[in-house]
């Protein structure tokens, strides 16, 4: 099974809200290949290019998906691995989550690829209480469990291994 190193960004605005992407990709399913029937929320980020460092990938994805070249990228705080089926091929996603902050909540989507435009439904800044109360689907699945510590400023000394 081919690994897919991925840089993900937990981007917070000045109001301490987390940016999430609502999407639905019919070409991506779980380990069993089943595609979720309804849209779900994920952090911004994506695949690390060959030869690219994780931090460089996080910076690139941040700018491509939000237009925010001046966001402050912090350290990696979480790590998870899980199997997804991408266009019929099982892939081992190796996701490293970086924390980042911005002073603005204005976003630009000019850097999106055609593939992203086809699957992304919405970008939204989430306040912690609204996210915790939501019945929507979020990935990683343990996002609600681990997010309160980050919003309170408690960063792990080394990336915390979390449930996908």
**How confident is the model over 137-151, as pLDDT tens digits?**
999 999 999 999 999
- Neighbour tally for 145: CB within 10 Å: 12
Residue-range domains of the chain with CATH: 2-161 (3.90.79.10)
Which region, left, alpha or beta, applies to residue 99 given φ > 0 means left and ψ of -120 to 50 means alpha? beta
Asked if the model's pLDDT at residue 16 lies above 90, the reply is: yes
Q: Using 50, 70 and 90 to split pLDDT, how confident is the model at 36? A: confident
Mean pLDDT computed over 65-93: 95
CB 164 within 8 A of CB 137: no
- This prediction's pTM: 0.96
């Amino acid at each position: 099974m081919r690994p897919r190193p991925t840089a993900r960004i937990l981007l917070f605005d000045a109001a301490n809200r987390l940016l999430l992407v609502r999407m639905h990709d019919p070409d991506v399913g779980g380990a069993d290949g089943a595609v979720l029937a309804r849209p779900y929320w994920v952090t911004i980020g994506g695949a690390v290019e060959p030869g690219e460092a994780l931090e460089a990938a996080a910076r690139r994805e941040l700018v491509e998906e939000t237009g925010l070249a001046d966001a402050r990228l912090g350290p990696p705080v979480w790590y998870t691995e899980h199997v997804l089926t991408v266009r019929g091929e099982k892939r081992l996603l190796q996701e490293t989550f970086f924390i980042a902050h911005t002073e603005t909540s204005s976003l630009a989507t000019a850097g999106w690829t055609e593939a992203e435009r086809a699957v992304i439904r919405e970008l939204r800044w989430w306040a912690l209480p609204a996210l915790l109360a939501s019945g929507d689907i979020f990935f990683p699945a343990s996002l609600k469990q681990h997010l309160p510590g980050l919003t309170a400023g408690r960063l792990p000394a080394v990336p915390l291994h979390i449930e996908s």
